[in-house]
């Protein structure tokens, strides 16, 4: 280890989180319907595999982009040569148009303000580098995606201070929670540089309300700090209330006398909405010229390939396709979401937080805990992982303050595998309840046994004493 740098050798990557440990166990014993039917089913991966057929159908109808051709002529050499890290203009234009379409065309985006990155992970990290120094902090509503402890902090040295949200109001952000987080950072001598919002939320699967968004914008405006709105799940909203982007809130406000628009930044990606994490397509959108300039320079460390940009500039420019895709994908997500929610409730008596977006459910298993502690949650998580053979993400890994919540993903598997997952949960809960009932009966017997023995002994002793003390006849 002495040969490595301090950064490479330090333990701040977050790899010891139960979120990552569950992945490691899954990779040792992954479920396969034919090759390994008793393996662990991956319910910890927020991946959208429900609409690949729509993408494949488009590719079949439009073979030229994937073959690197334009009007029958090869453009392979053109795409193979060096491209400026600002990105292909045609792709940036199609990307911002797609972002507007997802938002109901209520807002528009300028392609010159878009910085391309190899996914949302480098987009968020790049913004950390641009907006904060090592040892400064961002506030982040909790529960939040476990990977942020790695993505935001590991290389940048930036700290995260949770905005603690509660199940009592369905984990919505409140003014008091914001102020408490801000004061907590101050007590730790951390300068707060901004708020990072995940909208729709991962792991909750809910969209931020207009009230929450206005509250956040008022807060950052008052504190003169930044807000990053990570909107990578914006196209997965399948039920009401609909999605409201921070850009729409900004558009409807009169901020001419402040520099608010310079302190609002959006992260987007095609990884979730189109189910394309392997293509590594992400972006930062900002109206702050200095941020765009700095982020563009940094993007050279994680570019989107020219071939990828060319292909998806053609796909996203096909408005008939994008309109149909977004509509059909939402229908499929709702169906799959409802399968998991109803399956958990009807088969296992487990409820979920009411949600309307995302690729997962926030599942309430507090009633299965043997104690209201995170140690009990960890024990339950291990049993689900090794006995039910399901990799789910425990709430502690998401920095939830209430033990017993778990994130379960539903869009990264077939319908048959999801049904098997529900069956496994049902069998586990049945076995768990039977075990608890047996334990309770044994405890009651143990508690009764000493008392019964003592009573009989006292009665016998009393009878003996009484007999011995009888007067002689």
Catalytic positions, written as ranges: 145, 230, 232, 272
Under DSSP, the state recorded for 413 is S
The CA-CA-CA angle for residues 436, 203, 133, to 5°, reads: 130
Cα 130 to Cα 194: distance, rounded to the nearest angstrom: 12
Candidates 110, 95, 112, 100; CA nearest to 317 is: 95
Coil/strand/helix, residue 117: strand
Coil/strand/helix, residue 197: strand
Dihedral Cα 413, 414, 417, 419, nearest 10 deg: 120
Candidates 223, 175, 220; CA nearest to 195 is: 220
Q: How far is CA 135 from CA 101, 189, 284, 317, in A?
A: 38, 9, 23, 43
Candidates 209, 210, 205; CA nearest to 236 is: 205
Q: How far is CA 443 from CA 110, 276, 336, 432, 437, in A?
A: 68, 53, 42, 16, 10
* Beta strands across the sheet bearing 360-364: 351-352, 360-364, 405-409, 393-394
CB 155 within 8 A of CB 261: no
Candidates 162, 139, 94; CA nearest to 314 is: 94
Bridging pattern class, strands 264-269 and 282-286: antiparallel
Burial 407-423 (b: 16+ CB within 10 A, else e): bbbbbbbeeebbebbbe
Residues 6+ positions from 313 with CB-CB distance below 8 Å:
88, 90, 91, 93, 94, 95
CB 410 within 8 A of CB 339: yes
**Secondary element (H or E) of residue 329:** helix 319-348
User: Burial level of 351, CB count in 10 A (0-12/13-18/19+)?
Assistant: middle
């Amino acid at each position: 280890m002495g040969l490595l740098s301090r950064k490479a050798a330090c333990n701040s990557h977050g790899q010891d989180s139960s979120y990552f440990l569950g992945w490691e166990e899954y990779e040792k014993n992954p479920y396969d319907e034919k090759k390994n039917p008793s393996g662990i089913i991956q319910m910890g991966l927020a991946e959208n595999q429900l609409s690949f057929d729509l993408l494949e159908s488009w590719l079949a109808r439009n073979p030229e982009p994937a073959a690197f051709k334009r009007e029958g002529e090869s453009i392979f050499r053109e795409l193979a040569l060096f491209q400026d890290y600002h990105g292909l203009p045609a792709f940036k234009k199609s990307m911002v148009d797609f972002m507007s379409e997802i938002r109901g065309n209520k807002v528009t985006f300028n392609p010159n303000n878009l910085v391309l990155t190899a996914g949302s992970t480098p987009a968020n990290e790049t913004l950390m580098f641009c907006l904060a120094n090592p040892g400064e902090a961002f506030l982040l509503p909790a529960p939040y995606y476990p990977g942020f402890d790695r993505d935001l902090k590991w290389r940048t040295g930036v700290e995260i201070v949770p905005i603690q949200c509660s199940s009592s109001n369905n984990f919505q952000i409140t003014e008091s929670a914001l102020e408490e987080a801000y004061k907590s950072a101050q007590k730790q001598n951390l300068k707060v540089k901004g708020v990072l919002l995940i909208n729709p939320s991962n792991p909750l699967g809910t969209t931020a309300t207009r009230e929450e968004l206005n509250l956040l914008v008022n807060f950052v405006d008052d504190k003169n700090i930044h807000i990053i709105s990570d909107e990578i799940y914006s196209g997965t909203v399948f039920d009401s209330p609909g999605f409201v982007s921070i850009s729409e809130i900004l558009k409807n406000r009169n901020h001419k006398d402040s520099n608010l628009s310079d302190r609002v930044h959006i992260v987007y990606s095609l990884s979730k909405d189109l189910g394309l994490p392997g293509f590594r397509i992400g972006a930062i959108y900002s109206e702050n010229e200095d941020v765009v300039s700095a982020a563009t320079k940094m993007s050279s460390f994680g570019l989107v390939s020219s071939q990828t940009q060319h292909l998806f500039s053609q796909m996203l420019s096909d408005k008939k396709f994008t309109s149909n895709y977004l509509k059909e994908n939402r229908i499929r997500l709702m169906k799959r979401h409802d399968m998991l929610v109803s399956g958990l409730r009807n088969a296992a008596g487990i409820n979920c937080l009411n949600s309307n977006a995302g690729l997962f459910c926030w599942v309430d298993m507090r009633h299965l805990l043997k104690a209201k502690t995170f140690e009990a949650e960890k024990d339950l998580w291990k049993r689900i992982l090794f006995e039910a053979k399901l990799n789910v993400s425990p709430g502690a890994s998401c920095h939830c303050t209430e033990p017993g919540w778990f994130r379960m993903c539903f869009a990264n598997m077939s319908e048959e595998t999801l049904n098997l997952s529900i069956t496994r949960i049902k069998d586990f809960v049945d076995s768990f309840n039977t075990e608890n009932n047996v334990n309770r009966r044994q405890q009651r017997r143990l508690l009764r046994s000493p008392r019964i023995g003592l009573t009989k002994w006292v009665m016998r002793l009393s009878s003996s004493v009484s007999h011995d003390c009888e007067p002689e006849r």
